């Protein structure tokens, strides 16, 4: 018998080590094994008396004892094989079988057999699953019906005292098993609840954020250990109204409003407030306030009277707030520096434009012979002065445009115009540069283009800057293609070249002021790096999109998408500007998919 208990204990130990379930489940399984052992022990003790009665001609006690022994051994074997639900079902069925046997032996309607059978659903409710509990009550009803039928049948001949003793013994065994089960299951959940409470207490005491618990009336009932380091005081000083006194006066209304929403409305709230932090080593008596992020969560209970307890999580965010202030200050300084730079460029541009106009004008007069006939050397010098002056004037104009864009003072005059009409004039302006580099200009214009609502002068400048860049970075004998077509609710203006191309990391900086792909002191291409930045600024003013795709050695395609209806585009009005027709589009020299493939 001792070996039986030790084997069962070793089995439970192995199951616990394997981690097959949480603690209540493990104790339930252990209770199943103990129930089987109790049944075996009690039935084994009753075997001698049953054998004595059997010699006297009464087989009922031995039959009942044998049923208990067999049921205990079978359920214990099932438990040892890990069939715990089958073991629970076997114990309930054993109790039902004993009750049924006693009911058939006793002709009375209310007898010991019915009492034993009544213990079976109680045992099932504590050890079994939902299905076993439902089935056990159905079986109990069946046993009751058998008991009613037994009253109508002739009763077997059996001594009343022996029948009473046997029924009392069977009822005692069932009661012992049920009481043991109730005690073990109750202890299991008590231990489990205590472990859960200890785990939560450990978590609250060691979590980094401070945890406070408020009563329905708003008083602090509990404060975690981390609250002492957060506020620089002992936790008992926060109870009652100690926390409210630490709130900054300006933040108290917001905190009280958020707390009322959680306490009365049952809503979770989060806010940032300033709270006093006590520093015993501070050299000044002035209070020191820290920024605290407070998260308020109500404890919802069904029996609540309209007010809830509130759990608050508090986190010190002073460092984050200091960083935000530093970033805001750095942003302000950067914006002031940018504005100062823009004002400087505008001032310098205006101051340089007048003398440069004079230089260009007088040098042109000298080369034309108005001031007298010049020698060939002097005429060459005057031509160089005129060329350099025009270059400087162009640089000054770009600087002024850039400063106006950055200052937000570039005003658009949006009017409907035919976008294809600006291509030829722009070709004429850059024709001399294209011929000097032996670059051919090609236009690919789609059919039935709609009128574009935009600033025509700004669109000319966009196209001129794109053409100048494309020509400048093209190889001698190359081709620069301007494509104009409709793309949804936008007009697609693309300028493609077959030049040197750009690296992927440079594409990310398209539109950045003063950025040049081939910069440095040894650069071989002239320019200020403002062309594409001005293009990007003008496109943004039109609420358009600037895209660039390139591959080193294969050229670059810069695409501008401008809203057909102007900066305030409305998709429902686009169809009234130009209806969409199913017409064959012009065949482009290079498709959008091919350019996208190159970019990848």
What pLDDT does residue 174 have? 83
Structure tokens at 595: 């350019």
CA distance 304 to 282: 45
What pLDDT does residue 578 have? 46
pLDDT band for position 585 (50/70/90)? Answer: very low
Q: Write out the residue limits of the CATH 1.10.287.130 domain(s) in the chain.
A: 324-407
For domain 324-407, which architecture applies?
Orthogonal Bundle (1.10)
What pLDDT does residue 329 have? 92
What pLDDT does residue 291 have? 92
Task: Indicate whether 597 pLDDT > 80.
Answer: no
pLDDT band for position 516 (50/70/90)? Answer: low
What pLDDT does residue 88 have? 84
Rounded to the nearest 10 degrees, the angle between the axes of helix 112-127 and helix 160-206 is: 20
What pLDDT does residue 448 have? 85
Strand order in the sheet with 479-487: 440-445, 479-487, 490-496, 555-563, 545-551
167 vs 420 pLDDT, higher one? 420
Task: Indicate whether 66 pLDDT > 70.
Answer: yes
What pLDDT does residue 23 have? 63
Which residues are within 8 A (CB) of 309 and not within 5 positions of it... i.e. 6 or more apart? 213, 214, 215, 216, 221, 298, 299
Q: pLDDT tens, 295-350?
A: 998 888 766 667 888 888 888 898 898 999 999 999 999 888 877 777 776 677 66
Q: Write out the residue limits of the CATH 3.30.450.20 domain(s) in the chain.
A: 210-316
Between 58-72, 118-132, 141-155, 369-383, the lowest mean confidence (pLDDT) is in 141-155
The answer to whether 392 and 356 have CB atoms below 8 angstroms apart is yes
pLDDT band for position 56 (50/70/90)? Answer: confident
CATH of domain 210-316: 3.30.450.20
Task: Indicate whether 243 pLDDT > 50.
Answer: yes
Of the candidates 348, 351, 385, 347, the residue with the CA atom closest to the CA atom of residue 366: 385
CATH of domain 415-599: 3.30.565.10
Q: Is the pTM of this model over 0.85?
A: no
Classify strands 440-445 and 479-487 as parallel, antiparallel or unpaired.
parallel
Burial 68-88 (b: 16+ CB within 10 A, else e): bbbbbebbbebbeeeebeebb
Q: pLDDT tens, 528-547?
A: 556 677 788 788 888 888 88
CA distance 559 to 507: 13
What pLDDT does residue 330 have? 92
Q: Write out the residue limits of the CATH 3.30.565.10 domain(s) in the chain.
A: 415-599
Q: What is the mean pLDDT of the segment spanning 543-565?
A: 85
What pLDDT does residue 87 have? 85
């Amino acid at each position: 018998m001792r070996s039986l208990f030790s084997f069962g204990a070793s089995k439970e130990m192995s199951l616990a080590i394997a981690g097959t379930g949480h603690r209540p489940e493990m104790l339930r399984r252990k209770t199943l094994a103990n129930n089987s052992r109790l049944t075996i022990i009690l039935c084994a003790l009753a075997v001698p008396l049953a054998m004595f009665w059997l010699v006297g001609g009464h087989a009922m006690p031995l039959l009942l004892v044998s049923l208990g022994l067999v049921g205990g051994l079978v359920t214990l074997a099932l438990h040892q094989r890990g069939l715990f639900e089958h073991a629970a079902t076997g114990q309930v069925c054993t109790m039902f079988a004993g009750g049924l046997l006693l009911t058939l032996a006793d002709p009375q309607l209310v007898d010991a057999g019915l009492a034993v059978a009544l213990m079976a659903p109680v045992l099932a409710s504590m050890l079994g699953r939902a299905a076993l509990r439902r089935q056990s009550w159905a079986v109990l009803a069946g046993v009751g019906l058998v008991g009613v039928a037994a009253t109508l049948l002739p009763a077997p001949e059996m001594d009343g005292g022996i029948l009473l003793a046997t029924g009392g013994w069977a009822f005692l065994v069932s009661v012992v098993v049920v009481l043991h089960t109730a005690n073990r299951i109750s202890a299991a959940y008590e231990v489990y609840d205590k472990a859960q409470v200890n785990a939560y207490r450990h978590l609250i005491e060691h979590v980094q954020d401070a945890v406070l618990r408020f009563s329905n009336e708003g008083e602090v009932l509990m404060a975690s250990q981390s609250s002492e380091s957060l506020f620089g005081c002992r936790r008992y000083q926060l109870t009652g109204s100690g926390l409210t006194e630490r709130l900054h006066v300006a933040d108290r209304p917001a905190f009280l409003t958020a707390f009322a929403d959680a306490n009365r409305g049952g809503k979770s709230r989060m806010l940032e407030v300033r709270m006093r932090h006590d520093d015993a080593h501070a050299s000044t008596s002035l209070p020191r306030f820290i920024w605290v992020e407070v998260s308020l969560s109500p404890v919802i209970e069904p029996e609540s009277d309209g007010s809830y307890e509130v759990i608050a999580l508090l986190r010190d965010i002073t460092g984050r707030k200091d960083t935000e202030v530093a970033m805001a200050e750095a942003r302000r300084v950067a914006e002031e520096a940018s504005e100062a730079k823009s004002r400087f460029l505008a001032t310098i541009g205006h101051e340089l434009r007048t003398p440069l106009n004079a230089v260009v004008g007088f040098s042109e007069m000298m080369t034309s012979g108005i001031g007298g006939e010049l020698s060939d050397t002097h005429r060459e010098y005057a031509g160089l002065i005129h060329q350099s002056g025009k270059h400087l004037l162009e640089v000054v104009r770009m600087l002024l445009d850039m400063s106006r864009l950055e200052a937000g003072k570039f005003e658009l005059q949006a009017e409907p115009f035919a976008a294809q009409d600006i291509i030829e004039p722009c070709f004429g302006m850059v024709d001399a540069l294209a011929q000097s580099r032996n670059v051919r200009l090609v236009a690919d214009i789609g059919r039935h283009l709609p009128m574009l609502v935009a600033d025509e002068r700004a669109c000319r400048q966009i196209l001129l800057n794109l053409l100048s860049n494309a020509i400048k970075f093209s190889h001698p004998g190359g081709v620069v293609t301007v494509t104009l077509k409709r793309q949804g609710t936008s007009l697609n203006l693309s300028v493609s070249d077959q030049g040197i191309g750009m690296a992927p990391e440079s594409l990310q900086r398209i539109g950045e002021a003063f950025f040049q792909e081939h910069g440095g002191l040894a650069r071989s291409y002239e320019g200020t790096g403002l062309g594409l930045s001005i293009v990007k600024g003008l496109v943004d003013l039109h609420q358009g999109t600037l895209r660039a795709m390139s591959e080193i050695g294969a050229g670059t395609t810069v695409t501008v998408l401008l809203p057909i209806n102007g900066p305030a585009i409305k998709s429902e009005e686009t169809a009234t500007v130009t209806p969409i027709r199913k017409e064959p589009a012009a065949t482009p020299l290079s498709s959008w998919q091919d350019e996208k493939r190159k970019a990848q």
